[in-house]
Structure 1
């Protein structure tokens, strides 16, 4: 499930991130990982609070408050972490997050859409809660998952097995 989501975000982010001259190439993987982190964090929070209906509604509309919140958090995070200017960050967020959410619901997402038409929302929520994802990546919570993903993307700069503030500091030295 996680690999499919990562692939979906990479495909959806081809134009808005990878081919974007405003995003330095060394930050492409980090920006893609941050998009995934933003989506999974918000959905995980909603799921933990028993608000799965909010997740379903967010998948239905780019104008939903949850979708807008994910976009704002993502834009703020990539501005802070990667020094991307606010206009570029807002543009990336406004393009990438709705495209990914559309593909997750099985909408008309084009190249980013999974074969067979989207993802099962229950699989996503189960993965976030530590079901399939926890077993596959050796952890049971979102922080372990994010650290594991970050490590695979080469973001574990201090080699301690997790991705945290120390790794971020080392990226800019």
Structure 2
């Protein structure tokens, strides 16, 4: 990686909070956190965006959109991090998460599966999307606000995941994941 992140001694403000959060939760600072700490204002704006979309769709749908986008992009960083978040939030169990990594979405509800398909379409060929794609979300019960927020959640994952991939940020071992699950979620 050509980017040189700031050391723990150099960070202040939001960047210091980012480092502290990782250290308190996992005992070290993730490589992706270190890189994002170079522009803590952008990271903070990203967090505000996520906090603005989750209330209307809930954590389960947010994680479905996030995991669907991350799988389509091939982002090990986000698959591992949000795989663990999904486990901790009770969205999926280890078997469901391993199945998801192998393109079996049966651990998710029918509505969440529609969100995954939508997030994958957005992540692979957004220019080919039509009203039919949003209609598929409406058909499983999502409101206009929720459809917009699902779209923003998947698009935000594209921003974050693609930035990490473009900067060749190393993928860290994510504590708390079963090794078989972690291996299934690791794309490169």
Tell me the TM-score normalized by structure 1. Answer: 0.32
Between Structure 1 and Structure 2, whose CA radius of gyration is higher?
2
Greater relative contact order (CA < 8 Å, ≥ 6 in sequence): 2
Tell me the TM-score normalized by structure 2. Answer: 0.30
